[in-house]
Structure 1
């Protein structure tokens, strides 16, 4: 008897689940040539030999079971799910299909042209139509229990249950309740249904693949599961952007999209993609090639788009504050790298890993560029207007706020900066202010880099100080700004990065500037008093000293009334330091010589300052405001008693 080949029609992949179902289960789509079965079974090495009587029994049993559940048979068979109706009978169905396969293998090897082979072939086609329908129904009706979140969050517990279920499937015994019970405890209802659905899918997939119908099984699976992954990414806010779209976004919109991505990435990787990989690996565990190909078709496109977004952001327009968003993106990808590498561990999806690495590389480049641009901005600051009163320069405030925020990203920055060009090669005087000593700690590169930015700032402040006509005010300006730098460093993560030695060197620099300020601002006042107050001098010379002191002190006082030390504690320290040098010297001169002039008619006019009220005048300076002479003593007496008593 001649074997008649039944032509097999290739169909395109349906676009919707409903159309997929009608297409997959059509007779023309399920028809398979006998010769294709011959080729398939000829390639198998079946270690089990069966007799002709066994072969006949297998075919008879298969025919009874398969025709009962023929999708074109009774109304009950058409609209009822075998696995939902009776899972024990469903397993019997699969067993009959496997026995039928063994019988067909025997017929191919022994009687290639027999009528029984045609009969078995027709039964096999009927069984595959039923299994295709069952596979589709399980996937579509159990989406709630097969969603990646449920599968991923319970993967370890489900794995244990699935191991038990697989063992029971192979032994073909045990009830549904027994086969999903974990050691020592019961799993939840959701987990139970997840385990059952995954177990049934694997059973069907193994059967269809072993009988040469793997392609049909994969089409159904990929159609449904890819839509779930794509929908999941869309609901997380992951969209596909082009470089031009990113560049056209204004800053607020881009920041919103970045924050959306940052909120989504952990869920996308640890839940959505991890769960999908876990499900795919289980359902197609019988074939490494099939499960890798299947997962690649389902997740590769969406995952590549997911990890491409940070690279597009990195390539887009830059502004100083963008560095924090870039580092957030970098940190998110770095933190998820172990999971990413595990999920996309095989060749077909390796491009996803490469995309993640490419995004990391571009983000790192962009962060380094923003840092360089920031340094350049400091150097190019061309403001020629001195800050009134020697106060803290706006550039100092902005730079310290910026790098103190950068210090909170020291872990990310250490990865990004490591291996980049050392900033100490730039043409700045290294002796001006030393950087922390580089060592083997992970944050050493960050410490050196941030210290260098401060050095760039301090060199710029030197130039800003030259804008003041008064050299004393120049030193006060530098002291104020360096003191501000020190306070910010102590109050932020910069303290740990720059270290105590760095701060101590900064403090010494501040004290040097304060000493120079005091010398230049008050030296003329000191020079108006005799070097040796105990020596006897004539009343006329005493009067001359007093007049010179009055003039010099009044001049210094009035100038420094408009100067400022914004930090209250620092201001008090400066005034105490001045008082400790001035008040005792003036007091000694006053007691030794001025007392002899008390009988002068113009004594009160001549001697304007007494040791008791000299401290009051000093307490008025460095507030940045001018107050009337008549109110100076009364307005400041309450907060200057310590100054008055220093002599």
Structure 2
């Protein structure tokens, strides 16, 4: 007999046979028979894993753990049931034939819901955020290669994090979850799947952040009431943890969620938002609360640390929380940046006011570096390390007054820092007026400006303020030092005759004696007055010693060599020639060390050869 689907050669004695149309009773009967066979096969496997039977093979065991080869067939059975229901619906949407596949579908969905939960809860070592993040390339490449046809054993859990074995196991577990989620969503049971996923993964995220020391239960009021030490500990913990929280915890969660629910954008957006939103908002809300705390210049750097951490992470924050459902997280991060920026500006303004209102009235002994200068420059040095962050903060906050030592194209942060230095120097100039001795006031100015220059050269201030600015300040230091010499040693230099050998040779003995006496008196008076004076910077101290010696010693040596010998007898008797040139050099080298470097004049006199030395006392 020929198949009814074969068209024989036509015969003139009869009409030719035609193909049986698909809608014919014969074709319909054949299709329905195949559908029923599929339902029978599906029932056999689904009934085996029916949770309601409470058999060891159904309730206590796991399809994906204990009988993985059947997992593929189980999912195929669900697809067959879907096809069967579609077939019967086309015939009659109210047909009794739908009852059996619908019942089997419900049983299968309960099993898959449990399997989904078991995979999520028992494979957490493969679904930790670090392991999931290792598969980040899958996010950009898509998930076309992940299907239920690639079901491999997940291993025994002995692999260490980051190994190829562990990464492979993680990929397998993620593929299992995706296969189940795709199946349940396509079957109309996505709600049940999503509910399980949210509950399990929310607890994972909560635990991860708790282990990082991040407490999302802290309220703004509690943060405001914390003492400085407790708040500092919280901030340090936050700074240590925020990068890991964003780049690993939230990033890994986004990867897993996008992978498992790749078939439905609304579902993965909803899941990720609900799992992470509360923790992420609390994370950045802490930084905003710190920005609202009581402000002082000392808290500036922690505010900048927080600002910098969020600003550096902003590209990742914007990418990870790109869904509309995560807009609250992005808004919270922006609000934290705004609040911290406002706090930094306010603290900078308060810092400037604090410089201007410094009320210390006591003059620094010896004209040394004022504590205000040390404090301000150390503070500015630290600020310079945050120059990139501060550039954003002060970009639209120009300095009201121009800084003459800077160019017109100076950046806002350079202008702001230069302005603060200028405010400091104006205050130091005012404090210099408290010294009754003009020479000491110039020494005080030289000391403090030198401290400013040295600190600027040793930090990023050098690049922010520029070499030209630094050079101008160094020139001012030299001018202050020159003014000190002029005012402090003019009497001593005036006691010696000008370096004119001919005139000096013709000087009468009595005139020479008077010259030595005037010089002795002027030098002793000046030296005793300045023994307590100080030059803090060793380099500046050496330069000033050398400069003073060059002006004083050659003139004294010339006069000494021409007139000391004839007065030798009188020197012994009256002590007219009290200093040999080398003695003066030793005395001068003892200057600028402060009270501990001062010495007493020797009571003896120098030898005719000028070889006697003053013993230094340091």
Provide TM-score, normalisation by structure 1: 0.83
Closer, same or farther in 2 for the Cα pair 1:247/1:422, shift >3 Å? same
Q: Where does residue 14 of structure 1 map in the other structure?
A: none
Distance in 2, Cα, partners of 1:187 & 1:579: 73
Q: Where does residue 95 of structure 2 map in the other structure?
A: 114
Aligned length: 568
Distance in 2, Cα, partners of 1:591 & 1:627: 26
Q: 1:630 aligns with which of 578, 602, 612?
A: 602
Task: Report if aligned partners of 2:587, 2:614 keep a CA contact under 8 Å in 1.
Answer: no
Distance in 1, Cα, partners of 2:549 & 2:333: 64
Offset at 1:69? 1.6
Q: Where does residue 580 of structure 1 map in the other structure?
A: 550
Offset at 1:636? 5.0
Q: 1:568 aligns with which of 532, 535, 538?
A: 538
Kindly provide the CA deviation profile for residues 523-572 of structure 1, in whole angstroms up to 9, marking residues without a partner as x: 11122223364323433333332222222111111111111112233222
Q: Where does residue 258 of structure 2 map in the other structure?
A: 281
- Note if 1:446 corresponds to 2:413: yes
Bigger helix fraction: 1
Q: 2:66 aligns with which of 73, 81, 85?
A: 85
- Larger-Rg structure: 2
Q: Where does residue 61 of structure 1 map in the other structure?
A: 41
Q: 1:435 aligns with which of 391, 406, 409?
A: 406
Task: Report if aligned partners of 1:59, 1:100 keep a CA contact under 8 Å in 2.
Answer: yes
Distance in 2, Cα, partners of 1:159 & 1:479: 62
After superposing the two structures, state which structure 1 stretch, 366-375 or 616-625, moved more: 616-625
Distance in 2, Cα, partners of 1:290 & 1:601: 107
Kindly provide the CA deviation profile for residues 593-620 of structure 1, in whole angstroms up to 9, marking residues without a partner as x: 4544345476651222232322122222
Q: 1:213 aligns with which of 166, 189, 193?
A: 189
Task: Report if aligned partners of 1:153, 1:271 keep a CA contact under 8 Å in 2.
Answer: no
Distance in 2, Cα, partners of 1:161 & 1:107: 35
Kindly provide the CA deviation profile for residues 197-230 of structure 1, in whole angstroms up to 9, marking residues without a partner as x: 2111111111111111111111111011111111
Q: 1:455 aligns with which of 400, 422, 429?
A: 422
Provide TM-score, normalisation by structure 2: 0.87
Task: Report if aligned partners of 1:162, 1:195 keep a CA contact under 8 Å in 2.
Answer: no
Closer, same or farther in 2 for the Cα pair 1:445/1:636, shift >3 Å? farther
Offset at 1:436? 5.7
Kindly provide the CA deviation profile for residues 117-170 of structure 1, in whole angstroms up to 9, marking residues without a partner as x: 11222111111111111111111111111121221134337998965342xx3x
Unaligned runs of 5+ in 2: 1-29, 155-161, 605-611
Kindly provide the CA deviation profile for residues 399-444 of structure 1, in whole angstroms up to 9, marking residues without a partner as x: 111111222222222222222232535xxxx55xx136534xxxx3
After superposing the two structures, state which structure 1 stretch, 623-632 or 195-204, moved more: 623-632
Q: Where does residue 322 of structure 1 map in the other structure?
A: 299
- Note if 1:296 corresponds to 2:273: yes
Distance in 1, Cα, partners of 2:129 & 2:349: 43
Closer, same or farther in 2 for the Cα pair 1:592/1:601, shift >3 Å? closer
Q: 1:607 aligns with which of 564, 573, 577?
A: 577
What's the secondary structure of 1:459's corresponding residue? helix
Distance in 2, Cα, partners of 1:287 & 1:274: 19
What's the C-alpha RMSD, in Å, of the aligned pairs?
2.5
Closer, same or farther in 2 for the Cα pair 1:242/1:78, shift >3 Å? closer
Distance in 1, Cα, partners of 2:407 & 2:294: 33
Task: Report if aligned partners of 1:161, 1:195 keep a CA contact under 8 Å in 2.
Answer: no
Offset at 1:368? 1.6
Task: Report if aligned partners of 1:526, 1:582 keep a CA contact under 8 Å in 2.
Answer: yes
- Note if 1:130 corresponds to 2:86: no
Offset at 1:321? 2.5
What's the secondary structure of 1:199's corresponding residue? helix
Kindly provide the CA deviation profile for residues 294-353 of structure 1, in whole angstroms up to 9, marking residues without a partner as x: 111111111111111111001101232322211111111122112111110111101101
Distance in 2, Cα, partners of 1:529 & 1:601: 18
Task: Report if aligned partners of 2:130, 2:248 keep a CA contact under 8 Å in 1.
Answer: yes
Task: Report if aligned partners of 1:597, 1:603 keep a CA contact under 8 Å in 2.
Answer: no
Task: Report if aligned partners of 1:423, 1:452 keep a CA contact under 8 Å in 2.
Answer: no
Offset at 1:513? 0.2
Offset at 1:270? 1.0
Closer, same or farther in 2 for the Cα pair 1:635/1:54, shift >3 Å? farther
Closer, same or farther in 2 for the Cα pair 1:328/1:410, shift >3 Å? same
| 1:373-384 correspondence runs (5 A) | 373-384=350-361
Unaligned runs of 5+ in 1: 1-49, 179-185, 640-647
Distance in 2, Cα, partners of 1:245 & 1:603: 85
Q: 2:437 aligns with which of 467, 470, 481?
A: 470
Distance in 1, Cα, partners of 2:131 & 2:456: 47
